Amino acid sequence: MLDQGAPPRTPRTEPVPAGLGTRLMRRKPVERLVAEGGQGEGGSLRRSLGLWQLTMISIGATLGTGIFVVLGEAVPKAGPAVTLSFVIAGLTALFSALSYAELAGTIPVAGSSYSYAYATMGEFVAWICGWCLVLEYGVSVAAVAVGWGEYLNELLDGTIGVTIPAALSAPPGDGGIFNLPALIVVLLAMAFLLGGARESARANTIMVCVKIAALLLFCAIGIKGFQSGNYEHFMPLGMAGVSAAGATLFFSYIGFDAASTAGEEAKNAQRDLPRAIMLSLIIVTALYVLVAAVAVGAKPWKQFSDSEAALAGIMKDVTGQTFWATLLAAGAVIAIASVVLTVLYGQTRVLFAMSRDGLVPKVFSKVHPKTGTPRANTVIVSLFCGVLAAAIPLGQLADATSIGTLFAFALVNIAVIVLRRTRPDMKRTFRVPLSPVLPILGFAFCVWMMGSLSTITWIVFGVWMAVGLVFYFCYGMRRSRLNDADARVDAPAVAEK
């Protein structure tokens, strides 16, 4: 029985914690994502990038080690039909690129696929996606930096006849003590990034133009050694060989999504991001096919034999001189340096977005007021990647970049379908044609390629994800800025008197 004389009880007003399932699935509204664009701790990112700079960032992150190294691995698998393999790999990348283009124009923020997942599939999926991006960008910077050291030695040998000793040009376990060139190129990229987005974009644009010129120079010289007989048996290993080479070459297209990480520094992100993504993919695919066609025409496919310097070897064979091969090596040094610069840029911007959401420490979202860049973020990430490249033999660990990328691509294709259903009224500056058919195909191709990766890659991926889950449940979920919103929603209304 109620005591009629007792004073009325004051309703409980402290927040009631949301259930675990609710917290894992909570989504960040698109409007909030866009409204927070550019805002960081102590300052804001500067919108200084136009369509040209965004396109160059995307090309810079894509066009590099793929064409200079992986061609020698793919030709023995497909023969002269490697040109067809490039087209197939390009089409596979196109499915995901279309999804990226739609979401980049709809949600123009720095987090790329992490932010897209946050808006459509919830915080837990977004964390997994962001953790995959950290793996993709961070390890790939280190792996590419190691490759830069190898080409630098070739360039030094061809110009002054001196090379960096193995003890200082290879990591422990690979015949060295410390890979000094790998650390140097990462620190150089860091210096450019600390100067500001506009300044680093200018440097990248110059480097991209140089490496495109180097590839066009190869085509102009290589065509002189072209022999139609090298194409007589176009598909010697059948369609299976073409498909196998296509799976290898797909990873030459990784990087076109780097433009989407510049969403908060673009002058007109909704208009320019979709255009930059699609334009860069078209340019890169055209260059890949052209270079592959000339390379196979100038050299019988059986003589490639997994050569890591196939293009330089062809230049030397056609001209009979080492000068042109050395010049191409110089182009490769610049090409790989631009990949380090743009991929490192993408890594810092993804962590910037995750930090702003509270999922990683605030230091990653602090913006320097003078340069408008996340300075502490850039230094921490650069030092980590530089030491990783200089002191650890990557081996199979580098393959983990592929699985992280494919996982993120798969989620982007799903995100397009989800956002179409949940927010059909949103303004979209670009729309994926034949949706949901093409996003479903993009998802299926990503899953298929993930399944073709080695067991050790899956083990590394599993360990990485386990570490990420521990970090999320111990730190990220507790510090998420959406906790404040949950507290407001869960607080009971004051009872009417």
198 exposure class (CB count in 10 Å sphere: 0-12, 13-18, 19+):
middle
237 exposure class (CB count in 10 Å sphere: 0-12, 13-18, 19+):
middle
C-alpha distance from residue 190 to each of 74, 162, 347 (Å): 33, 27, 12
**Cβ within 8 Å of residue 129, ≥6 positions away:** 113, 114, 117, 407, 408, 411
- Of 228, 236, 235, the C-alpha closest to 297 is 228
Give the long-range contacts of residues 170-179, CB within 8 A, separation 24 or more.
171/146, 171/389, 171/390, 171/391, 171/392, 171/393, 171/394, 172/391, 172/392, 172/393, 173/393, 174/393, 178/390, 178/391, 179/145, 179/146, 179/149, 179/389, 179/390, 179/391
- Taking the C-alpha atoms of residue 306 and residue 317, their distance in angstroms, rounded to an integer, is 17
266 backbone dihedrals φ, ψ, rounded to 5°: -90, 140
Buried b (16+ CB within 10 A) or exposed e, 421-436: eeeeeeebbbebeebb
- Taking the C-alpha atoms of residue 494 and residue 492, their distance in angstroms, rounded to an integer, is 6
Band (400; pLDDT cuts 50, 70, 90)? low
Question: For residue 47, what are its two tokens?
Answer: 């919108």
Quick check: 357 and 118 in contact, CB under 8 A? yes
Q: 39: part of which helix (H) or strand (E)?
A: strand 39-40
Q: Give the pLDDT of residue 237.
A: 85
How confident is the model over 97-120, as a mean pLDDT?
A: 91
- Of 412, 83, 49, 414, the C-alpha closest to 264 is 49
Buried b (16+ CB within 10 A) or exposed e, 458-489: eebbeebbeebeeebeeebbeebebbeebeee
- Taking the C-alpha atoms of residue 20 and residue 16, their distance in angstroms, rounded to an integer, is 12
Task: Kindly state the DSSP code that residue 357 receives in the 8-state scheme.
Answer: T
- Taking the C-alpha atoms of residue 474 and residue 397, their distance in angstroms, rounded to an integer, is 26
Quick check: 181 and 193 in contact, CB under 8 A? no
Task: Say whether pLDDT at 200 is over 70.
Answer: yes
Band (332; pLDDT cuts 50, 70, 90)? confident
Buried b (16+ CB within 10 A) or exposed e, 371-385: bbbbbbbbbbbbeeb
Q: Which residues pair with 40 in a beta bridge?
A: 43
Q: 411: part of which helix (H) or strand (E)?
A: helix 400-422
Task: Say whether pLDDT at 48 is over 90.
Answer: no
48 backbone dihedrals φ, ψ, rounded to 5°: -135, 5
- Taking the C-alpha atoms of residue 212 and residue 224, their distance in angstroms, rounded to an integer, is 19
Task: Say whether pLDDT at 44 is over 70.
Answer: yes
Quick check: 413 and 99 in contact, CB under 8 A? yes
Quick check: 312 and 27 in contact, CB under 8 A? no
Prior bond of 424 cis (ω within 30°) = no
Q: Give the pLDDT of residue 115.
A: 92
Task: Say whether pLDDT at 69 is over 70.
Answer: no
Quick check: 218 and 24 in contact, CB under 8 A? no
pLDDT digits 0-9 by tens, 423-477: 998 888 999 999 899 999 999 988 887 887 778 888 888 999 999 999 999 999 9
pTM, rounded to two decimals: 0.84
Q: Give the pLDDT of residue 1.
A: 39
**Cβ within 8 Å of residue 27, ≥6 positions away:** 118, 119, 120, 121, 122, 123
Above pLDDT 90, what percent of the chain? Answer: 32
What is the pLDDT of the chain when averaged over all its residues? 83
- Of 292, 342, 250, 332, the C-alpha closest to 64 is 332
Q: Give the pLDDT of residue 128.
A: 93
Between 7 and 156, the more confident residue is 156
Q: 143: part of which helix (H) or strand (E)?
A: helix 123-159
How confident is the model over 349-376, as a mean pLDDT?
A: 91
Instruction: Report the amino acid identity of residue 203.
Output: A
pLDDT digits 0-9 by tens, 275-327: 999 999 999 999 989 999 999 998 888 887 655 567 877 888 888 888 887 88
Band (394; pLDDT cuts 50, 70, 90)? low
pLDDT digits 0-9 by tens, 11-24: 443 344 457 777 88
Question: For residue 485, what are its two tokens?
Answer: 């919103």
Q: What is the CA radius of gyration of the chain?
A: 25
Question: For residue 202, what are its two tokens?
Answer: 């200018």
Which residue has tokens 């393999």? 85
- Of 46, 89, 428, 478, the C-alpha closest to 264 is 46
3 state DSSP class of 104 = helix
Instruction: Report the amino acid identity of residue 332.
Output: A
- Taking the C-alpha atoms of residue 430 and residue 272, their distance in angstroms, rounded to an integer, is 10
Above pLDDT 70, what percent of the chain? Answer: 90
